[in-house]
Amino acid sequence: MARALRQRDDYQLVLPGTVSRTSMELRPGLSKDEWLEAGRFCAMVERANRWWIGDFLNYGEHAYGQTYAEALTLFELDYFTLAQLKWVASVFEFYDRSQNPKISWTHHLAVAALEPEARSYWLSEADTYGWSVRELKARVKGDKSKPLPTHKPLLRFCQDLPTPIIVAQILRVFFPTAETALDMTGGDGGFWDGSELLDVTRLIVDPAGAPDGTEDFRSLRHVPDDAHDVTLFDPPHLADSSAGSIMGDKFGTIPDDEMEDAIQAGCREAWRIGRLGTVIKVTDHVHGQRYVIESDWVREAIGQPPFDEVYQVRTGAVIDPKWQEQLSAYNNGSTYLIFRKDGPLHKKVGGR
């Protein structure tokens, strides 16, 4: 341990002032060098605090066999975040962390699950070429057996494109800086094929809140506000499907008198959890002899107009042979409503 400490680029920071939980009060009359030293102190804390917490947790476990109970009282962080900090700190030795000075903790997280030689290689490459975390993840993913596809420009009306490609392009265009996503209705994973460039958490969701480990998208109380960069919500949109029906089994169903409340509750959760925003997919369709505009429910629940909309269109529709005289337009598509939290203007994000 002492050898590793000597090999690191350690230095003493002296703060010319005092700090509290909510302020930094600098001593009057500082020279410019002293003021810059205070800035170096802030930068050190910002870059290093996740490493510090992880090392603190690992030390406690090694020395005392402590659980997270004590740490949970010290830090305003949930259990899963603390577990992640502890794990990443355990993966990288002190010396390994200092080999690439331009590389952030989040870069290390992106490769933590790889073998040691692969971790070292990718971090060195990211340092040499100045890759962002997003680009590092894309490079690592592209090195696997399934290469990243070359995406075409995103169109408002996407005709006969696979759902995962549409989703990946929506994320690429509207959330280019996103690194994490929560799929609130993950189900069989139909949104994803590996072409997305971020870390996806998929929930297996049951709108009835079954007690077998599935979750009710209407109330995800264990997920903190802004816990993921972006959320994706594809609620069941068919009401009162019969048991064993093809569409009900594939997409789920909710009683007709609960459908609007369920979708709106899920939308509010999606908006609460997505730090940058949310993508919500619904299908406006005819049910019970009336036109059900689910996209209006979404707009009302979010409380503001969408940032943009994208439509998934098929050349044909699923037509039930039991239907006879046509009284409505057959549905052949869905709507993706995109909501961003940083305002309505379509402009460059994060310097891209």
- Which DSSP letter does residue 155 get? -
Q: Checking phi first, is residue 176 left (phi over 0); if not, alpha (psi -120 to 50) or beta? A: alpha
CATH architecture classification, 31-142 = Orthogonal Bundle (1.10)
pTM above 0.75, yes or no: no
Q: Which segment of 274-278, 294-298, 347-351 scores lowest on mean pLDDT? A: 347-351
The total number of residues written for the chain in this structure: 352
**pLDDT by residue (tens digit) across 133-188?**
877 887 787 665 444 455 578 999 999 888 888 998 999 899 988 888 999 887 66
State the average pLDDT over residues 96-118: 83
Kindly indicate whether the domain formed by 157-340 is annotated with CATH number 1.10.357. Answer: no
CA-to-CA distance for 285 and 246, rounded, in angstroms?
A: 17
Range 36-44 contact pairs with CB under 8 angstroms and sequence separation of 24 or more: 37/13, 40/13, 41/13, 41/14, 41/15, 44/13
**pLDDT at residue number 179:** 85
Mean pLDDT for the chain? Answer: 80
Query: Is there a contact between 87 and 108 (Cβ–Cβ < 8 Å)?
Result: no
Task: Give the max Cα distance, the chain.
Answer: 86
- Return left, alpha or beta for 47; rule: phi > 0 is left, psi -120 to 50 is alpha, else beta: alpha
Q: What are the CA-CA distances from residue 279 to residues 98, 152, 308 (Å)?
A: 38, 20, 10
**Domain spans in the chain, listed from the N-terminal domain onward:** 31-142, 157-340
